Amino acid sequence: MEFTVQLQTYRQRVEQALDHYLPATGTPPPRLHAAMRYSLEAGGKRLRPVLLLASADLFNAPSSAAEAAAVAIECVHTYSLIHDDLPCMDNDDLRRGRPTAHKQFDEATALLAGDALLTHAFWLLSRYSSQPTIVAGLLAELGHAAGSQQLIGGQMEDLLAEKKSGVTADELRSIHLKKTAAMISAALAMGGIVAQARPADVETLRLAGQHLGLAFQIVDDILDATADTATLGKTAGKDAKADKTTYVKLYGLDASRKLAREESDAALAALARLPGDTTFLTTLVRDMAARTN
């Protein structure tokens, strides 16, 4: 199947699974569930759940087996965006071309919707209870990646870095590894766990995800500096305006592009060690490195 068609197919599966695995519209309290769906349904690339589904397919997991886990990882990603956008954090009004959750609803509702998406993500993993070793594996993976030493820790380090001058290359790499790469790494690993892949293959998936996550974040920094708001669907030039340390600020555009390429190549090298047909994932890595939004 052609890459773009396959990507579209994965994204459609993600959209359908999101609708299926989220509490229905109107579930009491309706305002809370409306806010959860508002943020989830804002769209976006669905990178993490697509990676999870594609990873599970490498090991011939039964179709649909990976979908609850895919929804879980998108719920965690979306919660982190809702909370990051709050006034006490990045204070952003626009996300994916629409008002952020606290602008559309209010701060309290946005806070609770974020909390609820995070909780729902973990609860969803209990859907695998007929195969409890899968539940335990997924929980360990997601709990670690989303936790205080990875996703949330990266967000904290990012906030602290904004307040000081002179963030080093090591510090920036640590922030990006935690804030972005950890969840992308977990997405690929969780696909393997759902499919009951060998631990060595799950570890290779983790490694591929780490490199892909770094590449993704460096490209994000490049796009923030070079693209316009309409193309991005979020406020462009935000980093420079906030005098934020990014790969572009630290290394310049050319060297940043080179670093992004190196990380993509490392991700591809890891993927090459996996069983199954990795064509989709390798094309996705290349596509992601060349993306314009």
Whole-number minimum distance, CB 222 to a second copy, in Å? 26
Whole-number minimum distance, CB 127 to a second copy, in Å? 9
Q: Name the residue nearer to a second copy (CB basis): 57 or 74.
A: 74
Q: Name the residue nearer to a second copy (CB basis): 157 or 263.
A: 157
Whole-number minimum distance, CB 112 to a second copy, in Å? 5
Q: Name the residue nearer to a second copy (CB basis): 140 or 253.
A: 140
Whole-number minimum distance, CB 139 to a second copy, in Å? 4
Whole-number minimum distance, CB 184 to a second copy, in Å? 17
Q: How far is CA 32 from CA 20, 105, 283, in A?
A: 17, 9, 38
Whole-number minimum distance, CB 70 to a second copy, in Å? 17
CA 38 to chain centre: 18
Q: How far is CA 111 from CA 82, 86, 99, 142, in A?
A: 7, 8, 15, 21
Q: Name the residue nearer to a second copy (CB basis): 189 or 225.
A: 189
Burial letters for 25-46: b for 16+ Cβ neighbours within 10 Å, e otherwise?
eeeeeeebbbbbbbbbebebeb
CA 202 to chain centre: 18
Cα–Cα distance for residue pair 152/170, rounded to 1 Å: 18
Q: Which residues here bind a second copy, judged by CB under 8 A?
A: 23, 27-29, 31-33, 36, 79, 83, 86, 88-89, 106-109, 111-112, 114-116, 118-120, 122-126, 128-129, 132-133, 135-137, 139-140, 142-144, 146-149, 152-153, 155-157, 159-160
Q: Name the residue nearer to a second copy (CB basis): 2 or 243.
A: 243
Cα–Cα distance for residue pair 173/88, rounded to 1 Å: 24
Q: Name the residue nearer to a second copy (CB basis): 15 or 171.
A: 171
